[in-house]
Amino acid sequence: MSSSPAMDRLVASLKRLPGIGEKSATRLAYFLLSAPEDLSRELSESIARLQRDTVVCGSCYTLSDRTPCPVCAHPDRDATILCVVEEPADMAAIERSGGFKGIYHVLGGALSPIDGMGPETLRLAELEQRVVQDGVKEVILATNPTAEGDATAHFLADRLQSATARITRIAYGMPLGGDLEYADHVTVSRAIENRRLLAD
């Protein structure tokens, strides 16, 4: 039984968000219906401001409130090391780690012919131009450890073969605190392949 056209529209809209199914969307809709009016208004305004106040960085193609973004504009970043990621969220994850001091290039996805993502849909020409013109010495391929991410990394390595920059790939392996017994066979296999020397 339908509750109301307005509720049905909201549930349908919420279901379009990643990770939100029918039950979660319905629960959120009923929460918003009973929430204080200022909470609903604040959420609505935040969503409207998100698109209005967000721009694509003209250098690395991440999302920011200005261009160039704070990472590209920072004078202490090493512009000779370029980390290639699929999406802005991947860049944010690396930044949270605090371990990378270079610059980034956001591809805008990964190769996935089934989803209509071919080489022409990614920012490959921009990447090649940056590597050649900006004196990049190392390109770190930090695409996700998925079939699509691996295919994209191999494709990029082939495309950048003629460049003088060193091409590297992020390592895979066991997460800190993980148990071998519960890890999947691909993770264990890659952890063995990517082992490192502890002592000479």
pLDDT in tens, 42-90: 999 999 999 899 999 999 999 999 999 999 999 999 999 999 999 999 9
Look at residue 175 in the predicted model and tell me its pLDDT.
Answer: 80
pLDDT of 76: 96
pLDDT of the residue at 2? 54
The predicted pLDDT at position 199 comes to 63
Q: What is the pLDDT of residue 80?
A: 96
**Torsion sign across C-alpha atoms 136, 140, 142, 143:** positive
Q: Which of 92, 97, 98, 106 is nearest to 57 (CA)?
A: 106
Superfamily of domain 5-52: RecR Domain 1 (1.10.8.420)
Cα 70 to Cα 93: distance, rounded to the nearest angstrom: 15
* Whether the predicted pLDDT of 1 surpasses 80: no
Mean pLDDT of 113-128: 93
Please give the average per-residue pLDDT across 161-175, as a whole number.
Answer: 88
Residue-by-residue DSSP string for 142-170: ---SSHHHHHHHHHHHHHTTTSSSEEEE-
Structural domain spans, the chain: 5-52, 56-169
pLDDT at 177: 84
User: What span, in angstroms and rounded, lies between the C-alpha atoms of 109 and 1?
Assistant: 40
Length of the chain: 200
Closest CA to 95 of 107, 110, 85, 109: 85
Higher pLDDT, 75 or 186: 75
Give me the CATH code for the 56-169 domain, please.
3.40.1360.10
Instruction: Tell whether the model's pLDDT for residue 25 goes beyond 60.
Output: yes
* Strand ranges for 42-148 from DSSP E: 55-56, 63-64, 78-85, 102-106, 138-141
Give which of 178, 127, 134, 130 is closest to 157, Cα–Cα.
Answer: 127
Buried b (16+ CB within 10 A) or exposed e, 41-53: eeeeeeeeeeeee
Give the pLDDT confidence score for residue 190 in this predicted structure.
Answer: 80
Residue-wise pLDDT for 99-113, tens only, equals 899 999 999 999 998
Structural contact between residues 163 and 171, judged by C-beta atoms closer than 8 angstroms: no
Separation CA 19–CA 10 (nearest Å): 16
pTM for this model (two decimals): 0.81
pLDDT for the residue 200: 55
160 has a pLDDT exceeding 60? yes
CA distances from 136 to 26, 103, 113, 170 (A): 49, 10, 29, 17
191 vs 45 pLDDT, higher one? 45
Nearest in space to 156 (alpha carbons), one of 136, 175, 186: 136
Spatial CB neighbours of 63, under 8 Å, sequence gap ≥ 6: 54, 55, 56, 57, 88
pLDDT-above-90 percentage for the chain: 74
Give the tokens for residue 75: 């004078």
